[in-house]
A = this chain, B = another copy of it.
Amino acid sequence: MLDAARNLGVDIDSVCGGRGICGRCQITVGSNPKIDADPDRLSKRGKTELEYRGRRSLEDDHRLSCAVTALRDVVIDVPPGSQVHRQVVRKRAGVISIAVDPIVRLYYIEVGAPSMYEPAGDLERVMTALEEQWQVTGVVLENRLLADLQPALAKGVRSITVAVHSGKRIIAVWPGFHDVSYGVAFDIGSTTIAGHLVDLASGRVVASSGRMNPQIRFGEDLMSRVSYVMMNPGGDAAMTRAVREAINDIIGGLAHDGGVDRKDILDITLVGNPIMHHLVLGIDPTPLGTAPFALATDRPLTLDAVSLDLDANPGTQVYVLPCIAGHVGADTAGAILSEGPHRRDPIQLLVDVGTNAEIVLGNRDRLLAASSPTGPAFEGAQISSGQRAAPGAIERVRIDRHTLEPRYRVIGQDMWSDEEGFDAAEVTGICGSGIIEVIAEMFLAGIITTDGVIVHRDTPRIVEEGRTWSYVLVDGPNPISITQNDVRAIQLAKAALYAGVRLLMDHLEVDSVDEIRLAGAFGSHIDTTYAMVLGLIPDCDLSRVSAAGNAAGTGAMMALLSAEARSEIEAVVRSVEKIETAVEPSFQQHFVEAMSIPHKTAAFLNLQSVVDLPAPSVARSDKPRRRRREESA
């Protein structure tokens, strides 16, 4: 039946090549209107199947297609688990369907014995077996494995399993039959490193793990790490060591959690922003710290895991997705691969906010990418009480439109601050999404003008600080206030983001976008309504604005599971138009225009139905005077 399927072009999986060992080629008997589902239409279980059942489980109605023949006309079903290119649906990272087609494949072969009548090397006999038994040609064996080949052939009594990378290179050899292969997809963030251990045969995620990027001790955000290198020549080597150790720890943890031998990890994919990309690869990121932000390379890379000091199988290759430009990294490439604007018609805006905002805009016809210098305000930096999103950080805020009293929620507690049992002592600061909400709420409550000026209102919540006013969000011994400088920092950040988006829209010649995907941690935590109130994002039907989750990591996983996905993102990255905001005069103009809140009535009015907006007149009451004060300050 396996032969018949292959003759018909039906892809049934197999590692052992039809020898009744691997059990990948299972089929069931189906039916159609003319032919019933009588199991007797197939030959009885023979020695091969009975022996297989002695070793592994085989359901009663499942048959090994390599070991049965058709006695009469019969309808055959190929269960998903037996399909070579089965579709995998990942629910946690959005509904993305991937045809599993890993770059590393295992082939079990039986190799002819050496003979003096046919002089040839054993390597050549292996190649002949691969060609005859699997129609795999033009493969080379890594030099490193030459010394392992004959011992494996001897131990496996002339049978071995080889792992072939991209149909070209044998990267591992085992004596006899071997049918487990795993991969790990890594997303190297400035703050967090996440890894997912995946069974390359099934596409199943076996274990996931994340930990802090240990480089944080060299600097909280990216630019401070580049500064560290500039101040400490050679400091990049220490950071490279730290991040590689963390990756190794994650590999070890994943292997342990998944009950997997780390020598069975045969493939690794990796995404990260340009600076993480360079540091993992051992490249000094200093040139990325100053204009013109020159990448060492924007090509995809396939490297020996060993060359990155990573401990997996000695033959494991690491695929690093391509960077797009000096500030638009492999993480953005991963997000594009995951979100797929290039596969569809709607104009999608894909934004990942970090120290910079990476912006991608377009559809199947044309795709543009840029980075906008938002600075780290959205991450809580440069904010008087700002902090990273961590337990104790305020992430949700509501302000009563009349009393101007706030209530808020912090990460790590389920209750709002005005609910019974809320522990005020646990509040440590305010994170990025909290900042967005409090400033948007202050605006909606009339505390801030459209120009971003905090106005005096008759409540103890508004206090004077120097020549400006602040809003007291948390009072008590450790007060948390939103200062005029905090508002200015967010205004600058959101103006930069919006100006970048606007610039790409100009290039694409569109006035609105069809959908907006907010990637990354910030995008997952932010309330899209407030993002629109503040004018972070352009006009778009609010129902089509959503969080993309860890799109970059999902892209890394897709690249791990699919050779085609790699080709796809490489082609997209080559064709994507890179826009450099710093050299585009209109960026400055958009930036200035985008300082106000909200800068555009259309977006403003759309929100009337969603949130309780103040009358514009109130917000604008003392704008001129305050503005002058601001300007003279």
Chain A residues at the B interface, C-beta cutoff of 8 Å: 113-117, 119-124, 141, 143-144, 146-147, 149-151, 281-284, 287, 291-299, 301, 303-304, 307, 323, 325-326, 578, 580, 582-583
> Which residues of the partner chain B approach A115 to less than 8 Å between Cβ atoms?
292
Please indicate which of the listed interface residues A146, A283, A301 has the most CB atoms of chain B within 10 Å of its own CB. A146
Which residue on chain B has the smallest CB distance to residue A326?
Answer: B119
Instruction: Give the chain B neighbours of A141 by CB distance below 8 A.
Output: 297
Q: How far is the CA of A296 from the CA of B294 in the complex (A)?
A: 46
Smallest CB-CB separation from A327: which chain B residue?
B119
Q: Contacts of A323 on B, CB cut-off 8 Å?
A: 121
Of the residues B114, B293, B580, contact of A292 by C-beta under 8 Å: B114
CA distance A295 to B326 in the complex (A): 50
Residue among B284, B292, B294 making CB contact with A151, cutoff 8 Å? B284
How many subunits of this chain does the assembly comprise?
A: 2
Question: A116–B296 contact, CB under 8 A?
Answer: no
Partner of A281, one of B146, B287, B291, B293: B146
Residues of B within 8 A of A326 (CB): 116, 119
Q: Are B292 and A150 in contact (CB under 8 A)?
A: no
The answer to whether A117 touches B580, judged by C-beta atoms less than 8 angstroms apart, is yes
Shortest distance from the beta carbon of A19 to any chain B beta carbon, whole Å? 24
A297 to B146, CA, bound (A): 8
Q: Considering the chains assembled together, what is the distance between the CA atoms of A150 and B285 in angstroms?
A: 10
Query: Which B residues touch A582, using CB under 8 A?
Result: 116
A121 CB contact (under 8 Å) in B122, B124, B284, B297: B297
User: Residue A296 contacts which of B119, B146, B281 (CB distance < 8 angstroms)?
Assistant: B146
B residues in contact with A144, CB < 8 Å: 307
- How distant is the Cα of A113 from the Cα of B582 in the complex, in angstroms? 17
Let me know if B291 and A150 touch, CB within 8 A. no
Are A121 and B583 in contact (CB-based, < 8 A)? no
* Interchain CA distance A119-B274 in the complex, whole Å: 13
**Given pairs A116-B291, A147-B281, 10 additional interface contacts (CB within 8 A):** A116-B292, A121-B294, A121-B298, A121-B323, A143-B301, A146-B283, A146-B297, A147-B282, A147-B296, A149-B297
Residues of B within 8 A of A147 (CB): 281-284, 296
5 A–B pairs (Cβ distance < 8 Å), ordered by A? A114-B293, A119-B326, A121-B297, A122-B294, A123-B296
A296 touches B122 (CB 8 A): yes
Question: With contacts A143-B307, A144-B307, A307-B143 known, is A298 near B120, CB below 8 A?
Answer: yes
CA distance A116 to B113 in the complex (A): 61
In contact, A150 and B117 (Cβ under 8 angstroms): no
A32 to B66 Cα, complex, angstroms: 79
Nearest-Cβ distance from residue A348 to partner chain B, whole angstroms: 22
Q: How far is the CA of A583 from the CA of B151 in the complex (A)?
A: 26
Give the CA-CA distance A146 to B285 in the complex, in Å.
12
Q: Which residue of B lies closest to A141 (CB)?
A: B297
